[in-house]
């Protein structure tokens, strides 16, 4: 097998590499030092890794996401095409993963829980010890001497890592036998002995800050709160895109990527890199150091937690959808690879099932459904669309695989809610001409989730689309036309856009959106049916997830994503997951509550559920086959 | 500061390196790729690192171990001399650390304890599990499913490392929900939950071998026994020099070396290298693999255990002589760095004090003193000279810092018991001419411990030395002469020796040997005094340590190292430490007994003990100031 010379050209580099026949272009590019992003995890689904072969031949294993013209121009999906000879390849500028630090949109108003008291709430204990120094009359070893002193303070059993054992001798002597010990007790699990985290040779006053972090590992965004545990105050909030995005936008793509070659290790390194960068940043802002952080609580969907811990996630993806563990044992910074104190506790909060993770149990805690008197619906509109229904007496949950359409993936001109995304749109009911608002105010590049919901609702209400999502090609507008993928609507003409191409909204895009919204709607209809509650009896609909914050409720009801209810029953809570992790970090009673939530929540697997399938099919219309469920929309339509 | 060019020349290499002014020669040599051995740990005490400066100038910070002639010839101690300009340095052949695998001398006859039964004795448990496979009706996570199955087999609480958690999902599926689990239970400490070590997807029959290792980390030699735990049989015995020797021959030198720069890390790496090499070798011989070893018990003096675990040992060396921990918690292969199964248990056996480590508690177990009816004396003649006196009702111990003279260090022509060492010597009482036996049968290179004891006894009995160790220079023999370090005896003329130099035995050497034997003798006199037992009431003297195996009892009594007793009361047990580690590996009742031995043994610190000082001074004579303690010797002398 001979090697071929591949020359990669992009706007800023020109790299040459030798590879054998059959090498994937994405691999060849990586070998040459260029990373081609693969949002769908290398499955040929998203079409974002298209490159242009300007010389030589490649074998295209899939052209699903390429037009005839694109193929004629030499375009090929880097994740699906293999080298057959010497090549010249042009790599067009990709949608960059902007490392925007979401400081504005993601900062949450948060106050310390009323009555918070570190003494009764916190598992960490600072204990000041004065030991009698050893002498030739008392040659007790250091560790026994320390354990005896701790026993006098009520700590019966204590363990210590080998890493810390290597230091206690010098720390005790440096402190001249007076030290401040930091112990983590585990009141939530009496089978775990207390663990020594730090031994400080200086006298640490009880007022000295004590640091912890609460982390939400979102599929898209990782959020970290730096918390001072004595006051209980959140001192810094930071968030950044999860660097795993470059290897898949949804959990399924990531699981697939992680199961290939060194994918598992890469996924772990990527999320750790994101977390450790955020930790550095937060600590700098609070004028402290990462190793001063002594405890971390982490919430996230089950896939994110598995990937963080290097645990294979394949069985999460495949029926019957099983995690390795929903309740992880307490770990340390050293074991997990998070740069807090190596002996600091890392507590991955417990989840319920493969698709109802600790982001949801933490979300339930922080939204208070588990203590609500009346029936409440909790909705996390994201790739997975987890839904919880319940009150203080019962909790049921499901996850409905909405897919990433609302996050801009699987839609031709979809994109994340960053600069250049159309986030809101209005369509004139006479001329069918659109007006829109672009994030950042410049020329549009595509449509983000809220823009897509808005567009779908407007096209339906103005009659451009019928209930089934079909375009009315009879209407007199150049924007409604037959395109390569069937009928389409031109949202923006090429002359208005960043790249000079029309931004269109195709029949295929509509189908993906309908599937996503139908899945979510069917999810909560299954839950209400299952427990015999009518939708109108739901007292409150709580929407979590940062995506939820920007939905226009009216439009979301119009397309049938949210149920038709008085608007005052909707409440947008923002990131309920990190908030729950924060409560669990502060107070072991809250941590205990999350464990109880995880244990008592009944998970309903939808993949084997006929009610779900029926509900899903009925919801594949705008807003629904059964218009009696959407009386408000019916009224609006009658008025138009 | 400018760099100087140093050219090192030895018999087989010529290396050149650039270093700044003030660099130690030993560092410069290391940088150039040549390791100069430092048996005393780089303190300038042993003189073994002498090199010859043939061009240029060095600053000699110490010349203690160099003669005037040697200095005139350019010799300098590499550990004490610093670079002052460009240099040419000749490195003479050093006493090589022979990586001889002691197959013959160290193999011990050992049989499985009578009545050994893995079911009742072993902490490791093989459990065969059949789990119900998950389904969409039962989506229990893998870890909970496994814990439930174990609970049905009586294992209530079980933990699992993150490393193993990363594998259990695929192992359960590979085994199609039928697996063999290996669990370590900790019957010796009920606060420690059972730990999952291995999950095997294949059905492991109860007859399949189950491997463990017992290790004795000696200051000089590391011994490893590979044990099949079902039969309890020792299948392979291997031993090798502890590679730390290159950085110091006794524990004090090693502690000093470990406290400098990266010394601690180097010491840890060196002993791990030795252990892992032995493990490889033993596994090859038994046709198995290191990761099939599931449990290790380790005995060794407290310094060796600290250095193995990367725990600083400085406080062991300095008054009041304190260890970091005498009882180490159970660790894993992964934590310690021993290449057994990463989740296999590593159990460092408990010691008593800085100078009475687990080599002694394991030795007491295997020699059975703790169950003896009558008073027994246990002696580990080595660098530290630990002594235990007791019976089933009481145990007292001391360590008497004999120094390494009996291992050939601190003696001008001393060496270890390897090829070329004079191991036995006879002096003619008329001509004072010696005859001797050399290990390997060739020309002599020096004197090992048994040779030194033999020589000292012969010179005393023939009147060449008086009771105080002074040479009788009046005697008519060319062998008795005035040397550079005072009076000396020529053991072998240059023409008979390997390097052409006379092998001599000087007054300084005699003092070192007298101090060593006086310390050991004073040690057990203190113990007998302390508990009010007369030496003659001691029923048995058990001598452990591989050194002990080769002592000529008669000679050892003649110099006053051992008490004058009927010879049948002496028993040489060989390596009692590894034997004790083997019993503890097999049977948790034996492990419990070692813990009890460690807890009930009273350690007597000699450094602050007047009785010891008096006993030591009285024993600084041949054989003792008080000849009534050595009636047999008195009789022999009267006959001569």
- Quote the percentage of chain B above a pLDDT of 90: 65
What tens digit of pLDDT does each residue of B89-101 get? 998 876 544 433 3
Q: Residue B322: which of A134, A322, A326 has the nearest Cβ?
A: A134
pLDDT exceeds cutoff 60 at B1 = no
Give the span between the Cα atoms of B144 and B147, in whole angstroms.
5
Predicted local distance difference test score (pLDDT) of residue B635: 85
Q: Which position has the higher pLDDT, A331 or A417? A: A331
Q: Helix, strand, or coil here: A172?
A: helix
Task: Report, as an integer, the average pLDDT of B199-204.
Answer: 91
pLDDT exceeds cutoff 90 at A63 = no
- Quote the percentage of chain A above a pLDDT of 90: 65
Task: Report, as an integer, the average pLDDT of A55-72.
Answer: 84
B314 contacts in A (CB within 8 Å)?
169
Are B399 and B390 within 8 A, CB to CB?
Answer: no
B353 contacts in A (CB within 8 Å)?
139, 141
CB contact B610 to A (< 8 Å) = no
Predicted local distance difference test score (pLDDT) of residue B98: 41
- CATH superfamily of the A3-90 domain: Beta-grasp domain (3.10.20.30)
Q: In sequence order, which residues have a C-beta less than 8 Å from that of residue A284 and are 6 or more positions away?
A: none
Angstrom distances, CA of residue A512 to CA of A505, B568, B628: 11, 94, 105
End-to-end CA distance of chain B: 68
- Quote the percentage of chain B above a pLDDT of 70: 95
pLDDT exceeds cutoff 90 at A567 = no
Cite the DSSP H helix spans in A99-178.
Answer: 118-121, 142-152, 162-174
Note the CATH architecture for domain A368-404+514-639.
2-Layer Sandwich (3.30)
Contact criterion met (CB < 8 Å) for A139 and B335 = no
CB pairs under 8 A between A and B: 125
For A354-366, letters b (16+ CB in 10 Å) and e give: bbbbbbbbbbbbb
Q: Helix, strand, or coil here: B139?
A: coil
Predicted local distance difference test score (pLDDT) of residue A146: 97
Contact criterion met (CB < 8 Å) for B143 and A325 = yes
CB contact B326 to A (< 8 Å) = yes
pLDDT exceeds cutoff 60 at A45 = yes
Give the CA count within 13 Å in the CB-facing half-sphere of A630: 26
Task: Report, as an integer, the average pLDDT of A582-600.
Answer: 97
Give the span between the Cα atoms of A102 and A278, in whole angstroms.
11
Q: Which helix (H) or strand (E) holds A265?
A: helix A263-285
Task: Report, as an integer, the average pLDDT of A565-572.
Answer: 88
Contact criterion met (CB < 8 Å) for B320 and A135 = yes
Confidence of residue B547 (pLDDT cuts 50, 70, 90): low
Q: Nearest CA of chain A to the CA of B293: how many Å? A: 21
User: In the β-sheet with B570-574, what is the strand arrangement from edge to edge?
Assistant: B570-574, B540-544, B376-380, B386-390, B395-399, B602-603
A139 contacts in B (CB within 8 Å)?
320-322, 353-354, 603, 605
Q: What are A640's two structure tokens?
A: 């138009």
How many CB atoms neighbour CB B200 within 10 A?
A: 16
Nearest Cα to A309, choosing from A295, A289, A326, A322? Answer: A326
> Does residue B47 come out as left (phi exceeding 0), alpha (psi in the -120 to 50 range) or beta?
left
Lowest mean pLDDT among A20-24, B405-409, B472-476: B405-409
Lowest mean pLDDT among A510-514, B217-221, B359-363, B476-480: B217-221
- A118-200, CATH topology level: Ubiquitin-like (UB roll) (3.10.20)
Are A26 and A62 within 8 A, CB to CB?
Answer: no
Chain A residue with minimum CA distance to B133: A320
CA angle B237, B239, B244 (to 5 degrees): 150
Give the span between the Cα atoms of A387 and A356, in whole angstroms.
9
pLDDT exceeds cutoff 80 at B411 = yes
B323 contacts in A (CB within 8 Å)?
141-142
Give the span between the Cα atoms of B253 and B219, in whole angstroms.
11
Chain A residue with minimum CA distance to B324: A142
Predicted local distance difference test score (pLDDT) of residue A608: 73
How many CB atoms neighbour CB A565 within 10 A?
A: 17
CB contact B318 to A (< 8 Å) = no
Predicted local distance difference test score (pLDDT) of residue B15: 86
Give the span between the Cα atoms of A450 and A439, in whole angstroms.
11
Task: Report, as an integer, the average pLDDT of A400-404.
Answer: 75
Predicted local distance difference test score (pLDDT) of residue B100: 39
What tens digit of pLDDT does each residue of A365-379 get? 999 999 999 999 999
Give the span between the Cα atoms of B382 and B406, in whole angstroms.
7
pLDDT exceeds cutoff 70 at B405 = yes
Task: Report, as an integer, the average pLDDT of A490-501.
Answer: 93
Predicted local distance difference test score (pLDDT) of residue A62: 80
B191 contacts in A (CB within 8 Å)?
157, 193
The CATH number given to B212-358 is: 3.30.420.480
Give the span between the Cα atoms of B229 and B124, in whole angstroms.
9
Contact criterion met (CB < 8 Å) for A335 and B162 = yes
Predicted local distance difference test score (pLDDT) of residue B546: 63
Q: Nearest CA of chain A to the CA of B44: how many Å? A: 27
pLDDT exceeds cutoff 80 at A41 = no
Task: Please provide the size of chain A in residues.
Answer: 640
User: In the β-sheet with A486-492, what is the strand arrangement from edge to edge?
Assistant: A480-483, A486-492, A503-506
CB contact B35 to A (< 8 Å) = no
CB contact B174 to A (< 8 Å) = no
Domain A211-358 has CATH 3.30.420.480: yes
Q: For residue B268, is the peptide bond before it cis, meaning its omega torsion is within 30 degrees of 0?
A: no
pTM for the model: 0.84
Predicted local distance difference test score (pLDDT) of residue B39: 67
Contact criterion met (CB < 8 Å) for B162 and A310 = yes
What's the whole-number average pLDDT of chain B?
90
β B386-390/B376-380 pair status = antiparallel
Q: Which of B133, B135, B136 to mutate to test the interface with A (most CBs of A within 10 A)?
A: B136
Chain A residue with minimum CA distance to B190: A191
Question: What residue ranges do the domains of chain A occupy?
Answer: 3-90, 118-200, 211-358, 368-404+514-639, 421-509
Q: Which helix (H) or strand (E) holds B612?
A: helix B610-618
* Window 285-314 of B, Cβ < 8 Å to A: 309-312, 314
Predicted local distance difference test score (pLDDT) of residue B346: 98
Give the span between the Cα atoms of A53 and A83, in whole angstroms.
11
Predicted local distance difference test score (pLDDT) of residue A102: 35
- Quote the percentage of chain A above a pLDDT of 70: 95
Q: In sequence order, which residues have a C-beta less than 8 Å from that of residue B57 and are 6 or more positions away?
A: B84, B85, B87
Contact criterion met (CB < 8 Å) for B136 and A320 = yes
Confidence of residue B574 (pLDDT cuts 50, 70, 90): confident
* Window 579-608 of B, Cβ < 8 Å to A: 603, 605, 607-608
Predicted local distance difference test score (pLDDT) of residue B415: 83
CB contact B162 to A (< 8 Å) = yes
Give the span between the Cα atoms of B316 and B301, in whole angstroms.
11
CB-neighbour burial class of residue A16 (10 A; exposed 0-12, middle 13-18, buried 19+) = exposed
Q: What are A172's two structure tokens?
A: 């005790």
What tens digit of pLDDT does each residue of B105-160 get? 456 788 899 999 999 999 999 999 999 999 988 999 999 999 999 999 999 999 99
What tens digit of pLDDT does each residue of A533-554 get? 998 899 999 988 766 667 788 8
pLDDT exceeds cutoff 70 at A37 = yes
B142 contacts in A (CB within 8 Å)?
315, 322-325
How many CB atoms neighbour CB B153 within 10 A?
A: 12
Q: How large is the ipTM?
A: 0.84
Contact criterion met (CB < 8 Å) for B325 and A191 = no
Lowest mean pLDDT among A40-44, B365-369, B552-556: A40-44
Residue A181, beta-bridge partner list: A127, A199
Write out the DSSP string of B542-585. EEESTGGGG--HHHHHHTTSS----GGGEEEEE-HHHHHHHHHH
What tens digit of pLDDT does each residue of B256-310 get? 999 998 999 999 999 999 999 999 999 999 999 999 999 999 999 999 999 999 9
pLDDT exceeds cutoff 80 at A12 = no
Predicted local distance difference test score (pLDDT) of residue B549: 65
Same fold, A3-90 and A211-358: no
How many CB atoms neighbour CB B433 within 10 A?
A: 11
* Window 331-350 of A, Cβ < 8 Å to B: 331, 335-336
Contact criterion met (CB < 8 Å) for A322 and B134 = yes
Q: Helix, strand, or coil here: A176?
A: coil
Predicted local distance difference test score (pLDDT) of residue B97: 43
Task: Report, as an integer, the average pLDDT of A414-428.
Answer: 86
* Window 200-259 of A, Cβ < 8 Å to B: none
Contact criterion met (CB < 8 Å) for B311 and A160 = no
User: In the β-sheet with A570-574, what is the strand arrangement from edge to edge?
Assistant: A570-574, A540-544, A376-380, A386-390, A395-399, A602-603
Confidence of residue B640 (pLDDT cuts 50, 70, 90): low
Task: Report, as an integer, the average pLDDT of B158-180.
Answer: 97
Contact criterion met (CB < 8 Å) for B309 and A607 = no
Predicted local distance difference test score (pLDDT) of residue B245: 86
Confidence of residue A39 (pLDDT cuts 50, 70, 90): low
CB-neighbour burial class of residue A351 (10 A; exposed 0-12, middle 13-18, buried 19+) = buried
Q: Nearest CA of chain B to the CA of A600: how many Å? A: 13
Are A561 and A525 within 8 A, CB to CB?
Answer: no
Q: Residue A312: which of B169, B354, B605 has the nearest Cβ?
A: B169
CB contact A384 to B (< 8 Å) = no
pLDDT exceeds cutoff 50 at B2 = yes
Chain A residue with minimum CA distance to B305: A166
Are B77 and B63 within 8 A, CB to CB?
Answer: yes
Q: Nearest CA of chain A to the CA of B246: how many Å? A: 24
Confidence of residue B45 (pLDDT cuts 50, 70, 90): low
What's the whole-number average pLDDT of chain A?
90
A134 contacts in B (CB within 8 Å)?
320, 322
CB contact A361 to B (< 8 Å) = no
Give the span between the Cα atoms of B81 and B62, in whole angstroms.
8
Cite the DSSP H helix spans in B102-155.
Answer: 118-121, 142-152
Q: What are A506's two structure tokens?
A: 């195709």
Nearest Cα to A295, choosing from A342, A337, A329, A328? Answer: A342
Are A128 and A155 within 8 A, CB to CB?
Answer: no
Contact criterion met (CB < 8 Å) for B309 and A168 = no
């Amino acid at each position: 097998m001979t090697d071929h010379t591949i020359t990669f050209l992009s706007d800023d580099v020109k790299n040459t590499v030798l590879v054998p026949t059959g090498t994937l272009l994405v691999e060849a590019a990586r070998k040459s030092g260029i990373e081609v992003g693969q949002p769908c995890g290398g499955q040929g689904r998203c079409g974002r890794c298209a490159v242009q072969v300007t010389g030589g031949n490649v074998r295209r294993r899939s052209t699903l996401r390429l037009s005839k013209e694109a193929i004629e121009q030499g375009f090929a999906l880097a994740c699906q095409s293999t080298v057959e000879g010497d090549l010249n390849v042009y790599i067009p500028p990709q949608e960059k993963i902007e490392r925007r630090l979401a400081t504005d949109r993601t900062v949450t108003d948060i106050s310390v829980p009323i009555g918070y008291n570190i003494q009764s709430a916190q598992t960490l204990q600072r204990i000041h010890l004065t030991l009698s120094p050893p002498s030739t009359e008392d040659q007790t070893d250091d560790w026994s001497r320390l354990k005896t002193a701790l026993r006098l303070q009520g700590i019966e059993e204590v363990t210590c890592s080998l890493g810390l054992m290597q230091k206690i001798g010098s720390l005790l002597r440096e402190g001249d036998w007076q030290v401040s010990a930091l112990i983590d007790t585990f009141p939530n699990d009496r089978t775990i002995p207390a663990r020594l985290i730090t031994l400080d040779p200086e006298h640490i006053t009880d007022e000295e800050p004590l640091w912890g972090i609460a982390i939400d590992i979102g599929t898209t965004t990782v959020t970290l709160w730096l918390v001072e545990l004595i006051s209980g105050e959140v001192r810094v909030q930071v968030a950044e895109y999860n660097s795993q995005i470059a290897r898949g936008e949804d959990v399924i793509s990531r699981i697939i990527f992680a199961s290939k070659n060194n994918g598992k290790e890469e996924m772990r390194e990527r999320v750790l890199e994101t977390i450790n960068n955020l930790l550095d940043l937060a600590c700098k802002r609070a004028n402290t150091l990462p190793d001063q952080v002594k405890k971390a609580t982490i919430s996230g969907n089950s896939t994110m937690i598995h990937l963080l811990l290097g645990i294979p996630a394949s069985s999460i993806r495949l029926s019957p959808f099983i995690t390795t563990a929903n309740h992880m044992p307490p770990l340390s910074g050293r074991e997990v690879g998070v740069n807090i104190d190596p002996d600091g506790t890392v507590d991955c909060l417990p989840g319920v099932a493969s698709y109802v993770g600790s982001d949801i149990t933490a979300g339930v805690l922080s939204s208070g459904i588990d203590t609500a008197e009346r029936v409440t619906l909790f909705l996390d509109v994201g790739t997975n669309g987890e839904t919880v229904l319940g009150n203080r007496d019962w909790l049921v949950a499901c996850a409905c695989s909405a897919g990433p359409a609302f996050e801009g993936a699987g839609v031709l001109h979809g994109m994340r809610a960053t600069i250049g995304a159309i986030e809101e749109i209005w369509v004139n009911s006479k001329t069918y001409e659109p007006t829109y608002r672009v994030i950042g105010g410049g020329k549009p590049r595509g449509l983000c989730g809220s823009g897509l919901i808005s567009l779908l609702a407007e096209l339906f209400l103005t009659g451009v689309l019928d209930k089934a999502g079909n375009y009315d090609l009879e209407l007199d507008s150049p924007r409604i036309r037959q395109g390569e993928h069937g009928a389409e609507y031109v949202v923006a003409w090429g002359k208005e856009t960043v790249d000079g191409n029309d931004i269109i909204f195709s029949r295929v895009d509509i189908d993906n959106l309908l599937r996503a919204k139908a899945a979510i709607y069917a999810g909560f209809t299954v839950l209400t049916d299952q427990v015999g509650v009518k939708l109108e009896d739901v007292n409150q609909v709580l929407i979590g997830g940062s995506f939820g914050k920007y939905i226009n409720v009216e439009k979301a009801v119009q397309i049938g994503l949210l149920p038709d209810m008085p608007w005052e029953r909707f409440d947008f809570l923002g990131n309920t997951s990190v908030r729950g992790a924060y409560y669990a970090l502060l107070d072991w009673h809250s941590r205990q509550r999350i464990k109880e939530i995880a244990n008592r929540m009944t998970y309903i697997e939808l993949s084997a559920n006929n009610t779900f399938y029926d509900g899903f099919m009925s919801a594949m219309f705008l807003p629904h086959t059964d218009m009696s469920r959407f009386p408000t929309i019916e009224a609006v339509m009658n008025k138009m």
